[in-house]
Amino acid sequence: MDTLLPLLRVDNLQVELGTPTRPVRPVDGVSFALPAGQTLALVGESGCGKSMTALACMRLLPAGGRIAAGSVHLGNAALHALPETRMRDIRGNHLAMIFQEPATSLNPVMTVGDQIGEVLVRHRGLHGQPAWDEAERLLAAVGIPDPRRRLSEYPFQLSGGMKQRVMIAIALAGDPQVLIADEPTTALDVTIQAQVLDLLAELQARRGMGMLLITHDLGVVARMAHQVGVMYAGELVETGSREAFFADPLHPYSRKLFAALPTPAQRGRPLETLSGQVPRLGEKRSGCRFADRCPQMHERCRSAAPAMHAVGPRQVRCHLYDPATGTREWVEPPAVAEAPGVAPAPAGKALDIEALAVHFPVRKGLFRRVVGHVKAVDGVSLQVPAGQTLALVGESGCGKTTAGKALLQLVPASGGQARYGGQNLLDLSPREWQPLRRELQMIFQDPFSSLNPRMRVGEILEEGMLALGVEPDAGARGARIDALLNRVGLDPAMRDRFPHEFSGGQRQRIAIARALAVSPSLIVCDEPTSALDVSVQAQILNLLRELQAEYGLSYLFITHNLAVVDYLAHHVAVMYLGRIVERGRAEEVLGNPRHPYTRMLLAAVPRIDTAAQKAGGITPGDMPSPLNPPSGCHFHPRCSEAIDRCRADYPEERRISETRVVRCHLVS
């Protein structure tokens, strides 16, 4: 291919779905060029057309989807016009893709080696032992330990981070010139995310690949991208270099995305949010597609669609930058009002946890004898202050969610105490627990799987009230349901819809409304903002803060998103392999981390105020198995500061201030 041409060039791409008589356009006139060795990041909310653009480039559009206009060129090859037989030679060889969800993209009935081998056979002609050796080399290249053993394993035997790295190995097996990465780090822990991003950057530098990175995480964009394209409602609304974009975003939509990010400076006041939603597919608009949500909207925005205007080397689709009529004068939206203080709450601890343990037996053999225990939670002690938020942070598999579920007896505890209102929750029978269900509620991580798909929203909210005897009058229950939907920012008319008719952010709001329906005083929030767009995340965080201020709620907030913790939490506890390794006030732990694991978590967070660079302080490797934890300090195999004592003895708690406790031999 001609090296003077961009590796991938997209011109005025239009994608249509549905019937030819009533088509909808999720992608409408997108153009960009991707040079060799560079990364173009497409950013925007869910539903903006980012993934559909990638699928069109791969010619993998869903049934009923088609390229209605425009062109896609890979070098001199016109991908939009090639027959499928020719595309099979290019797809996976010259052009490869890492799909958004590895758990559903990998074949569950094929081993890892067989799935990599398919690409090696099809595109590189390798068979037998040479193919097996190359597959092992690819797994080693993407940082998977013991690659020969992993080749014989199935996807369900791998962690989320390992599955994502297997997806990268499959994509790289054909030695592609262009790699499309669709949300390659969504919902991954910050440490695994850092390893995946570093790996992609190293492979790109070594191979000279072009990379199309699709993400809604601006921290990832700051770390990886050379060029940035902001998409909204099927169109590119701003393009430019990474440095210029982060120094001065031009389009009102880009500015709103930045304003929605939680930062320490915004602690104690509401985040800016984007009102409304991305226009629905098929919705006819004569003017700017962002007009209804734009704080800079003028009459012309409703009547005429803006063109792309050049602003130096950048381009922006906004009437404010029209050389003929634009003023470029920003009318700053009114400042977000300070949130009211936290409502008065009873002094002391809403929940006092001492030595909580959850051990799952491992059984083998014909008689299912117990041969060991998985110590998912191993002696956790915490206090959730009344009316405040305790954030429980750590990597996936450290036991955070198991601890939260054990407190509500959704999984059986093996030992310890959890005192609430003078009672030990872990000793109560189901009958004794019944009245406490009103007081203690949980917001689950995945609202789609936790909401009954066969029930309407109104029925979901009413179910808890009926079970716990809240509002015996049907009319009062109906009024309460309407008030709850209003409170979480949903139209009461939506009460007759089913969960699948809502977006991810709306389903999360329904899950919050369900928890609030019975007037609890303490809520366990399990990753309530995981994988949400920054705009939706800001709305959810504002809602949780407002509810805490209004009702004096206490939160046990389980997450691995440290930016959210910095914004929302009053206290932080860091968990590793079933145990708390550091806890204290949020400003203490995040401002001056003392445990090496806490420092590693903070170092792994991609930030928008730093140039693209490799994360420092990240030790490769996954968390050890809780079935067979390391001797001594559990973190020592991943700790660059470990000494001999760390390998022999588990450290005792060291209190370094009235509110700060650390488990580390290196802390005096």
Answer with the residue of higher pLDDT: 533 or 168.
Answer: 168
Predicted TM-score (pTM) of the model is: 0.85
Residue 413 has pLDDT above 60, yes or no: yes
The predicted pLDDT at position 617 comes to: 52
Confidence of residue 565 (pLDDT cuts 50, 70, 90): very high
The predicted pLDDT at position 587 comes to: 93
Confidence of residue 340 (pLDDT cuts 50, 70, 90): very low
The predicted pLDDT at position 606 comes to: 83
C-beta neighbour count of 620 within 10 angstroms: 12
Residue 334 has pLDDT above 70, yes or no: no
DSSP-H helix ranges across 229-276: 242-247, 252-259
For range 592-613, the mean pLDDT: 83
Answer with the residue of higher pLDDT: 102 or 629.
Answer: 629
> What span, in angstroms and rounded, lies between the C-alpha atoms of 511 and 492?
15
C-beta neighbour count of 599 within 10 angstroms: 16
The predicted pLDDT at position 329 comes to: 62
Q: Which of 433, 436, 411 is nearest to 519 (CA)?
A: 436
Confidence of residue 189 (pLDDT cuts 50, 70, 90): confident
Q: Which of 327, 347, 251, 331 is nearest to 295 (CA)?
A: 331
**415-420: strand order across its sheet:** 369-385, 349-364, 415-420, 423-424
Residue 313 has pLDDT above 50, yes or no: yes
Query: Looking at the chain, how many residues does it have?
Result: 668
Answer with the residue of higher pLDDT: 600 or 331.
Answer: 600
Answer with the residue of higher pLDDT: 141 or 234.
Answer: 234
Name residue 32's amino acid: F
Residue 90 has pLDDT above 60, yes or no: yes
The predicted pLDDT at position 4 comes to: 46
**Domain 349-439+520-662: assigned CATH number:** 3.40.50.300
Percent of the chain predicted with pLDDT > 70: 94
CA distances from 72 to 56, 80, 98 (A): 8, 6, 19
CA torsion sign for 274, 276, 277, 280 is negative
Residue 285 has pLDDT above 90, yes or no: no
Q: Which of 414, 364, 393, 399 is nearest to 625 (CA)?
A: 399
CB burial readout 423-437, b (16+ within 10 A) else e: eebbebeeeeeeebe
Confidence of residue 154 (pLDDT cuts 50, 70, 90): very high
The predicted pLDDT at position 343 comes to: 45
The predicted pLDDT at position 196 comes to: 81
> What span, in angstroms and rounded, lies between the C-alpha atoms of 182 and 400?
28
Confidence of residue 372 (pLDDT cuts 50, 70, 90): confident
Residue 601 has pLDDT above 50, yes or no: yes
Contacts of 128 (CB under 8 A, 6+ apart): none
Give the max Cα distance, the chain. 83
> What span, in angstroms and rounded, lies between the C-alpha atoms of 338 and 21?
50
Task: Of 139-148, 473-482, 557-566, give the lowest mean pLDDT range.
Answer: 139-148
Average of per-residue pLDDT values in the chain: 88
Q: What is the pairing mode between strands 369-385 and 389-393?
A: unpaired
The segment with the largest mean pLDDT, out of 259-263, 430-434, 572-576, is: 572-576
**654-655: strand order across its sheet:** 440-443, 522-526, 554-559, 389-393, 571-576, 579-585, 661-662, 654-655
The predicted pLDDT at position 337 comes to: 54
The predicted pLDDT at position 522 comes to: 95
Q: Which of 410, 440, 411 is nearest to 423 (CA)?
A: 440
Residue 2 has pLDDT above 50, yes or no: no
> What span, in angstroms and rounded, lies between the C-alpha atoms of 289 and 281?
12
**Fold identical between 8-247 and 349-439+520-662?**
yes
Name residue 268's amino acid: G
Q: Which of 179, 182, 225 is nearest to 74 (CA)?
A: 179
**Domain 8-247: assigned CATH number:** 3.40.50.300
Residue 619 has pLDDT above 70, yes or no: no
| DSSP assignment letter at 605 | S
Residue 105 has pLDDT above 90, yes or no: no
Q: Are the CB atoms for 296 and 331 separated by under 8 Å?
A: yes
The predicted pLDDT at position 652 comes to: 94
Domain ranges of the chain: 8-247, 253-321, 349-439+520-662
pLDDT digits (tens, 9 = 90+) for 6-48: 899 999 999 999 888 888 999 999 999 999 999 999 999 888 8
Task: Of 338-342, 421-425, 588-592, give the lowest mean pLDDT range.
Answer: 338-342
The predicted pLDDT at position 577 comes to: 93
C-beta neighbour count of 163 within 10 angstroms: 19
Answer with the residue of higher pLDDT: 325 or 393.
Answer: 393
CA distances from 610 to 220, 245, 508, 605 (A): 11, 13, 31, 11
Task: Of 293-302, 538-547, 584-593, 603-612, give the lowest mean pLDDT range.
Answer: 603-612
Residue 344 has pLDDT above 90, yes or no: no
> What span, in angstroms and rounded, lies between the C-alpha atoms of 401 and 194?
22
The predicted pLDDT at position 327 comes to: 63
Residue 618 has pLDDT above 60, yes or no: no
Q: What is the pairing mode between strands 308-311 and 314-317?
A: antiparallel
